[in-house]
């Protein structure tokens, strides 16, 4: 049932290229519980603009939970308290009237804050550039489908391919490790026949790129898997570990 709630927001504000920021407090009044979290921020921003104040900067694009652009740490959890949900798909009905919500950007050395809640996730792109692709030309869809793939393998590859690269795993990891992201890419490409020829080279270069970019190391806390909006399993990290060992000794 639709109702309106009032909230207090504690939002991280940080100017472009300034090393330090701080929390500002805003009142979000008359927020419909049918709104998404980002729509709620839109309302707050409209009021800030009317008051001639700088609106809160946050990343967003599709608002359908599939592009991986949005994301903030809400009350200590990446993409907020709702499991398997991106911030844009999180609805205000999950919050209580008069609640105080703390909103922070992804925190990792590898993800410098650009402004407010916007961070530079270019490090993930660099990892992809290091080997997260297939160079072989597979032709049009028809040709690619000529290679039959078992249902179980196809499902596993698809589950890994569901990774939208939002960076929530890094944000949620107590060590700011990117291993779930890299593991997902390694699985998604390495499980399929088109990706297998380059599998060894891929795992070696992607892991090296990840290490170079200043991410932390996985200590199997499993927070990434739980806070991932696509519920990517840590079994993908195990597969990456396995593939890395195989590639190292062969």
Shortest distance, position 107 Cβ to other proteins, whole Å: 5
Mode of pairing for the β-strands spanning 4-13 and 73-74: unpaired
Alpha helices (H) in the chain, listed in sequence order: 37-50, 122-129, 141-144, 151-161, 168-172, 179-190, 199-212, 223-227, 235-249
Of 3, 16, 201, 242, the one binding other proteins by CB under 8 A? 242
Other Cβ atoms closer than 10 A to 105 = 25
Residue pair 232/222 in contact (Cβ under 8 Å)? The answer is no
| Per-residue tokens: 26 | 């805003």
Among 32, 126, 205, 214, binds other proteins (CB under 8 A): 214
Q: Does 42 interact with other proteins (rule: CB under 8 A)?
A: no
Stretch that binds other proteins, among 41-49, 133-141, 158-166, 173-181 (CB under 8 A): 173-181
Q: By CB neighbour count within 10 A (0-12 exposed, 13-18 middle, 19+ buried), where does 39 fall? A: middle
Q: Tell me if 82 contacts other proteins by CB under 8 A.
A: no
Instruction: Establish if 45 lies at the interface with other proteins (CB under 8 A).
Output: no
**Which one among 159, 215, 229, 232 touches other proteins, defined by CB under 8 A?**
215
Contact call for residues 247 and 199 (beta carbons, < 8 A): yes
Residue 219 interacts with other proteins (CB under 8 A): yes or no: yes
Site residues (CB under 8 A) for other proteins, limited to 108-137: 108-110
- Asked if 99 interacts with other proteins (CB under 8 A), we say no
Q: Site residues (CB under 8 A) for other proteins? A: 10, 12, 23, 73, 75-77, 83, 102, 104, 107-110, 172, 174-177, 179, 207-208, 210-211, 214-227, 234-235, 237-245, 248
């Amino acid at each position: 049932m639709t109702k309106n709630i009032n909230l207090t927001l504690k939002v991280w504000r940080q100017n472009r290229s300034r090393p330090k920021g701080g929390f500002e407090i805003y009142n979000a009044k008359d927020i419909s519980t049918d709104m998404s979290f980002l729509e709620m921020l839109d309302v707050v921003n409209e009021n800030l603009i009317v008051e001639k104040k700088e609106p809160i900067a946050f990343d967003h694009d599709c608002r359908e939970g599939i592009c991986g652009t949005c994301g903030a740490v809400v009350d200590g959890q990446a993409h907020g308290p709702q499991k398997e949900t991106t911030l844009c798909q999180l609805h205000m009905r999950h919050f209580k009237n008069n609640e105080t919500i703390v909103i922070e950007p992804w925190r990792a050395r590898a993800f410098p804050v650009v402004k407010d809640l916007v961070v530079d996730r270019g490090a993930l792109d660099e990892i992809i550039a290091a080997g997260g692709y297939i160079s072989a030309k597979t032709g049009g869809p028809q040709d690619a489908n000529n290679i039959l793939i078992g249902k179980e393998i196809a499902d596993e590859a698809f589950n890994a391919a569901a990774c939208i690269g939002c960076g929530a795993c890094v944000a949620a990891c107590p060590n700011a490790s990117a291993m779930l992201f890299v593991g997902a890419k390694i699985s998604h490409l390495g499980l399929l026949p088109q990706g297998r020829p380059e599998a060894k080279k891929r795992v070696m270069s992607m892991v090296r790129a990840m290490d170079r970019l200043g991410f932390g190391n996985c200590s199997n806390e499993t927070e990434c898997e739980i806070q991932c909006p696509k519920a990517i399993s840590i079994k993908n990290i195990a597969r990456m570990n396995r593939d890395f060992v195989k590639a190292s000794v062969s």
